[in-house]
């Protein structure tokens, strides 16, 4: 039964076309169909106009912002996303722009989704050059010796390969040779040969090339260069010259030696000198793109340290776990022949010691597969000529190789592998670091060694190789041709690959092809071990299977994510609501934006305050989760905006990944943790013995080999199932709790390994799968001891608020509420709680360990928060402080060993805020009418006080405290000023009440007088006018008029007086 989905139209087409359309239109229904190959989506960084075009990739050389796709996301008004956030991610803002970044970041101009340690999708760039590349002409590769591929494992974004005859060019790839480019380097090619730097001849060929995460190294003649630019300028002759920097210009370098693993936050490379500094090593350290070299040993040369006159360093190996160098030293003694020694140099103590002296001649193994070198064995007349060393840090296996092969697990006791012929000479070794080693000889032969065994198998040329090539030619494979030259050999995903130059029909090309190791071993086993028996009148061909078991299964495997520490997300493409069902430019652009936003959520999830839901995608849908059914209804009726439906259930973090009947790629172990599984083996039935060359295996045995038994232990229990002719083994791998100090999550891990081996199975047991045969019976798993990646300490703000409200009987937040940073009241006891969040498995639980809390910074506002010095941190947090500077205290009595700081836990009695006189939060002046507040920058660490884990948890977060009290002096001053103002206002009020009647009366009298004056002036003005008008009238009339006017004025005065009395009477009544 298929899951519910949008209703699609019925298309009346042929059955075959219908099947095709079902795959194209409804890809989400395919999850229920088993054995269906999953599709791989490629999200490419392009201009919007070229989205969806085949093989389209744009180069942003000028570092311009990406063209906005706002017009696409603006259509998704009813989609379950936040258009503002998504629009901000893909808009033309410069802080969101995609540019060509420096080499150390591992980004190039094209984006693709691939699996990677720690996170399944990482940003990788497909580099492209147009018009500046060399043609792959035959003389660059035909009959040219192969060369090793050196790089930092799991770190470097590109591979480079030198060895192009008489050309300053390297072969460059960022896709593990799925595509590649031959790039000319802009270097000066100076030759500084002199009397102290012997050089037989000059050549333009680049001999050594090493790729690290941060830079590239090459050696031409005796000079070393490293690259400091970006990928866009790597190939350009006009700008590339200044990017290639010559280092150790006054030294004569004869060889570069790689360091395959990074450690201590740095990468390394070693340069071997000749001439004036013979017997020294230039040890290079690359940290954050900065390259520095140190001449080692520091005090004296290796020759002086081992008390010889003349010596030369042939090879160097850096062991990061012990922080020392293993040197292969050639010693010239005038009285005897040349001989070689393995010398150890400690970089910390500057101490040299000879570990092993290599025999002068090859031992006589007398038909044995291997021989322990004890000094009592006999030797042949073939001299031993060591040429190099190889070291695997996971199983501590050291190889010394030349015309022989020696191996050792402690660098002191060596085993001679007699299967490798002494007539050949090894050119280089290729290590998968997962238990497989390939050997390339000077004659370009390929040999194979399974670590933990002593058999060395010849892969090429061999009868098995001839059979394989014949079958490939019959199938018309394009990966094989009559004329071919191997360029290099390398491992990828535990599989061996060749880079080969083929000439077919006078056309040359470089191809990457798989070396079928298992098939070649099967062909070799069948061709060597068969028997012809006559049965009646005809011969019968029979083969003997030397595998001791018929069935091998891994059972009871736990979920792998907790041990592999790989974070995984599910990000399905949006559903296209169109009749044809094909993706359009808009839907592809939407998908690109959504995937980028998912990556952004992943990177932003590491914040100090824990979310209520432990999932980075929670913030994506938290505001629209309740409308999920509505969006599904719109999609079912073809009414989604933009004809694109984004299902919120299609974007989620995966926490419950199940095991696939195989051991994980690697195992991370914290302090005291363990990994448990079982192995089921069915023994092979006994067969008749046909001769001495056949061996009968009727019983099976399981061995567990540990690289560091002092740090980890394995317990194996078995149960014999007689009725099934089988044995069930339970294996438990555990950490012993004392081989590692505390460290930051995912950093400075100790490398070790576990080898699960069925006795007698090496090179004999194979399992047929849909991907071809697979070797069985020999399982090596790298084990990393320390604090696993993806674990962090977070401030549990949800439970802290709940518990503080319960204990203090109340909770008062700030006036201006911030949901992301709630406030706590100063006078309340503060009870902090923290979470241990596992970003891989989704587990989130209370931190039960001990920790130290320090206030390391603060300020009255967010803008004024500053860091405190070490002296201030001690004064503000130590209970031993005598300067009245403490910010907080606790009633807990447990302290660190030096009693400098208090030790807290989840059961602590809480924190009481003090803010004493000399503390920065003392006497904080409020900026408004509300109480004072302060932002404390708090550091929480369990280092040195928590013995339950290897993790050094460190959390820094801001804590908002409000209601801080003022100092006594300032409070008294404010009280006095406030009281004075209050008393003054009261007195003023009383005075105003007592004097108000008199003031009102005086005002009325004043108003009356002012009115009289105004009336008199008005009368005088009018009288003067009348006098001028009637100047000729008689005296009698004048007298009457005067008398009349006087009467009028008297009447007006009386009326005004009456009005005044009436007004005063009303005022007194009121």
Q: What dihedral do alpha carbons 996, 999, 1004, 1006 form, nearest 10°?
A: -170
Q: How far apart are the first and last CA of the chain?
A: 93
> How much of the chain is helix, strand and coil, in % rounded to 5?
25, 30, 45
DSSP annotation of 505 reads: T
Q: How far is CA 767 from the centre of its chain?
A: 35
H and E: helices and strands count for the chain: 14, 56
Least confident of 109-118, 306-315, 1030-1039: 109-118
On the question of pLDDT at 122 being above 50, the answer is: no
What residues contact 90, with CB distance under 8 A and at least 6 apart?
66, 68, 69, 70, 73, 96, 592, 593, 596
Q: What number of CA atoms fall less than 13 Å from residue 238's CA on the CB side?
A: 1
Instruction: Give the model's confidence band at 958: pLDDT under 50 very low, under 70 low, under 90 confident, else very high.
Output: very high
Instruction: Give the model's confidence band at 915: pLDDT under 50 very low, under 70 low, under 90 confident, else very high.
Output: very high
What distance in Å separates the CA atoms of residue 653 and residue 789, rounded to the nearest whole number?
A: 17
Q: What number of CA atoms fall less than 13 Å from residue 790's CA on the CB side?
A: 24
| Residue 520 and residue 731 in contact, taking contact as beta carbons nearer than 8 Å | no
pLDDT at 118: 29
pLDDT in tens, 718-729: 999 988 889 999
Q: Higher-confidence residue: 713 or 656?
A: 713
**In the predicted model, what is the mean pLDDT of residues 324-352?**
92
On the question of pLDDT at 32 being above 60, the answer is: no
Instruction: Give the model's confidence band at 195: pLDDT under 50 very low, under 70 low, under 90 confident, else very high.
Output: low
Q: What dihedral do alpha carbons 989, 990, 991, 992 form, nearest 10°?
A: 50
Q: Higher-confidence residue: 456 or 567?
A: 456
**In the predicted model, what is the mean pLDDT of residues 820-841?**
92
**In the predicted model, what is the mean pLDDT of residues 1020-1049?**
51
Is residue 1042 classed exposed, middle or buried when 0-12, 13-18 and 19+ CB atoms within 10 A define those classes?
Answer: exposed
What is the gyration radius of the CA atoms in the chain, in angstroms?
43
What distance in Å separates the CA atoms of residue 988 and residue 994, rounded to the nearest whole number?
A: 10
| Residue 998 and residue 861 in contact, taking contact as beta carbons nearer than 8 Å | no
Q: 110: helix, coil or strand?
A: coil
Q: How far is CA 71 from the centre of its chain?
A: 33
What residues contact 808, with CB distance under 8 A and at least 6 apart?
825, 828, 829
On the question of pLDDT at 1061 being above 70, the answer is: no
Instruction: Give the model's confidence band at 119: pLDDT under 50 very low, under 70 low, under 90 confident, else very high.
Output: very low
pLDDT in tens, 593-650: 788 778 777 877 777 887 777 777 777 777 777 888 888 888 888 888 778 888 878 8
List, in sequence order, every residue forming a beta bridge with 889; answer none if it has no partner.
Answer: 912
pLDDT at 611: 76
Tokens 């970044």 label which residue? 101
Q: What is the rounded average pLDDT for all residues in the chain?
A: 80
* CA–CA–CA angle 245, 247, 249 (5° rounding): 115
| Residue 174 and residue 151 in contact, taking contact as beta carbons nearer than 8 Å | no
On the question of pLDDT at 197 being above 90, the answer is: no
On the question of pLDDT at 359 being above 70, the answer is: yes
On the question of pLDDT at 734 being above 80, the answer is: yes
Angstrom CA distances, 150 to 30, 183, 1049, stand at: 42, 18, 124
The share of the chain scoring above pLDDT 70, in percent, equals 79
List, in sequence order, every residue forming a beta bridge with 975; answer none if it has no partner.
Answer: none
| Residue 933 and residue 962 in contact, taking contact as beta carbons nearer than 8 Å | yes
Least confident of 513-517, 564-568, 590-594: 590-594
What residues contact 1055, with CB distance under 8 A and at least 6 apart?
none
pLDDT at 695: 37
On the question of pLDDT at 434 being above 80, the answer is: yes
pLDDT at 1055: 53
On the question of pLDDT at 363 being above 70, the answer is: yes
- The token pair at 923 is 């006497």
Q: 592: helix, coil or strand?
A: helix
- The token pair at 366 is 């007398």
Ranges of H-type helices in 770-887: 797-808, 870-877
Backbone angles phi, psi at 732, to 5 degrees: -125, 120
pLDDT at 903: 94
What distance in Å separates the CA atoms of residue 301 and residue 277, rounded to the nearest whole number?
A: 8
């Amino acid at each position: 039964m298929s899951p519910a989905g949008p209703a699609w139209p019925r298309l009346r087409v042929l059955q075959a076309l219908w099947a095709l359309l079902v795959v194209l239109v409804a890809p989400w229904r395919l999850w229920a169909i088993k054995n269906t190959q999953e599709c791989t989506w490629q999200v490419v960084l392009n201009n919007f106009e070229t989205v969806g075009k085949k093989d389209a990739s744009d180069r942003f050389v000028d570092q311009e912002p990406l063209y906005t796709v706002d017009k696409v996301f603006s259509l998704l008004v009813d989609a379950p996303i936040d258009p503002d956030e998504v629009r901000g991610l893909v808009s033309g803002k410069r802080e969101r722009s995609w540019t060509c970044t420096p080499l150390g970041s591992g980004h190039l101009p094209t984006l693709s989704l691939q699996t990677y340690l720690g996170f399944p999708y990482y940003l990788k760039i497909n580099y492209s050059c147009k018009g500046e590349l060399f043609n792959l002409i035959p003389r660059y590769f035909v009959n040219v010796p192969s060369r090793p591929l050196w790089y930092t494992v799991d770190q470097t974004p590109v591979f480079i390969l030198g060895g192009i005859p008489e050309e300053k060019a390297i072969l460059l790839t960022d896709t593990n040779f799925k595509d590649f480019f031959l790039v000319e380097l802009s270097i000066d090619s100076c030759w500084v040969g002199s009397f102290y730097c012997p050089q037989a001849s000059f050549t333009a060929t680049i001999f050594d090339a090493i790729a690290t995460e941060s830079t590239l190294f090459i050696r031409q003649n005796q000079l070393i260069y490293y690259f400091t630019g970006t990928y866009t300028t790597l190939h350009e002759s006009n700008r590339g010259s200044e990017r290639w920097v010559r280092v150790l210009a006054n030294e004569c370098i004869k060889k570069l030696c790689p360091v395959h693993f990074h450690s201590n936050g740095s990468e390394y490379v070693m340069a071997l000198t000749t001439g004036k500094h013979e017997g020294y090593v230039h040890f290079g350290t690359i940290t954050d793109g900065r390259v520095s070299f140190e001449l080692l040993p520091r005090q004296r040369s290796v020759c002086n340290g081992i008390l010889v006159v003349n010596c030369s360093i042939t090879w160097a190996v850096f062991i990061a776990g012990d922080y020392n160098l293993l040197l292969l030293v050639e010693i010239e003694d005038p009285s005897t022949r040349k001989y070689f020694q393995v010398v150890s140099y400690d970089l910390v103590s500057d101490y040299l010691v000879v570990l092993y002296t290599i025999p002068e001649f090859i031992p006589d193994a007398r038909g044995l597969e291997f021989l322990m070198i004890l000094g009592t064995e006999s030797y042949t007349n073939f001299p031993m000529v060591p040429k190099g060393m190889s070291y695997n840090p996971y199983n501590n296996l050291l190889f010394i190789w030349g015309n022989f092969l020696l191996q050792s697990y402690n660098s002191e006791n060596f085993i001679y592998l007699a299967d490798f012929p002494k007539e050949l000479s090894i050119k280089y070794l290729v290590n998968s670091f997962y238990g497989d080693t390939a050997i390339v000889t000077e004659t370009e032969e390929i040999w194979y060694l399974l670590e933990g065994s002593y058999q060395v198998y010849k892969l090429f040329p061999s009868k098995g190789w001839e059979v394989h090539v014949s079958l490939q030619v019959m199938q018309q494979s394009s990966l094989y041709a009559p004329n071919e030259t191997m360029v290099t050999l390398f491992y990828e995903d535990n599989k061996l690959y060749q880079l080969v130059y083929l000439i077919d029909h006078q056309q040359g090309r470089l191809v990457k092809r798989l070396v079928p190791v298992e098939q070649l071993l099967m062909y070799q086993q069948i061709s060597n071990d068969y028997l012809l028996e006559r049965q009646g009148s005809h011969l019968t061909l029979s083969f003997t299977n030397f595998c001791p078991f018929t069935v091998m299964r891994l059972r009871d495997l736990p979920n792998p994510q907790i041990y592999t520490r790989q974070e995984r997300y599910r990000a399905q493409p949006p559903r296209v609501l169109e009749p044809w069902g094909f993706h359009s430019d808009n839907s592809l652009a939407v998908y690109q934006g959504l995937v980028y936003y998912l990556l952004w959520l992943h990177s932003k999830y590491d914040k100090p305050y824990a979310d209520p839901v432990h999932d980075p995608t929670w913030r994506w849908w938290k505001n629209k989760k309740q409308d999920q059914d509505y969006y599904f209804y719109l999609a079912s009726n073809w009414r989604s905006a933009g004809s694109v439906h984004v299902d919120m259930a299609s974007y989620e973090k995966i926490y419950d990944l199940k095991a696939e009947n195989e051991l994980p790629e690697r195992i991370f172990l914290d302090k005291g943790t363990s990994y448990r599984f079982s192995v089921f083996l069915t023994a092979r039935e006994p067969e008749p013995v046909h001769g001495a060359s056949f061996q009968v295996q009727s019983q099976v045995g399981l061995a567990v080999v540990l690289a560091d038994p002092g740090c980890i232990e394995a317990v194996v229990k078995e149960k014999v199932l007689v009725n099934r002719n089988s044995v069930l083994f339970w294996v438990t791998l555990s950490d012993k709790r004392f081989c590692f100090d505390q460290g930051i999550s995912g950093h400075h891990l100790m490398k070790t390994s576990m080898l699960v081996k069925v006795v007698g199975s090496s090179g004999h047991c194979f399992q047929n799968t849909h991907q071809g045969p697979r070797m069985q019976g020999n399982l090596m798993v790298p084990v990393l001891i320390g604090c696993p990646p993806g674990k962090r300490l977070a401030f549990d703000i949800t439970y802290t608020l709940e518990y503080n409200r319960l204990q203090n009987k109340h909770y008062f937040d700030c006036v201006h509420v911030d949901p992301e940073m709630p406030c706590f009241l100063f006078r309340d006891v503060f009870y902090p709680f923290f979470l241990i969040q596992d970003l891989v498995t989704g587990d989130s639980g209370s931190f039960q360990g001990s920790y130290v809390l320090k206030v390391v910074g603060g300020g009255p506002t967010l803008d004024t928060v500053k860091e405190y010095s070490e002296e201030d941190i001690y004064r503000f947090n130590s209970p031993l402080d005598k300067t009245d500077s403490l910010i907080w205290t606790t009633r807990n009595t447990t302290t660190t060993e030096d009693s400098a700081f208090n030790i807290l836990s989840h059961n602590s009695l809480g924190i009481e805020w003090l803010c004493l006189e000399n503390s920065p939060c003392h006497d904080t002046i409020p900026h408004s009418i509300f109480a004072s507040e302060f932002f404390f920058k708090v550091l929480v660490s369990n280092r040195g006080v928590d013995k339950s884990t290897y993790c050094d948890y460190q959390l820094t977060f801001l804590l908002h405290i409000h209601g801080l009290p003022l100092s006594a002096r300032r409070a008294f001053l404010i009280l006095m000023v406030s009281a004075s103002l209050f008393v003054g206002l009261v007195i003023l009020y009383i005075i105003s009440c007592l004097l108000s009647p008199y003031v009102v009366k005086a005002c009325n009298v004043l108003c009356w007088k002012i009115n009289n004056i105004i009336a008199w002036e008005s009368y005088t003005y009018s009288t003067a006018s009348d006098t001028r008008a009637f100047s000729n009238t008689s005296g009698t009339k004048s007298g009457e008029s005067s008398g009349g006017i006087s009467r009028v004025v008297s009447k007006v005065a009386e009326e005004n007086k009456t009005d005044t009395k009436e007004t005063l009477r009303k005022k007194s009544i009121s």
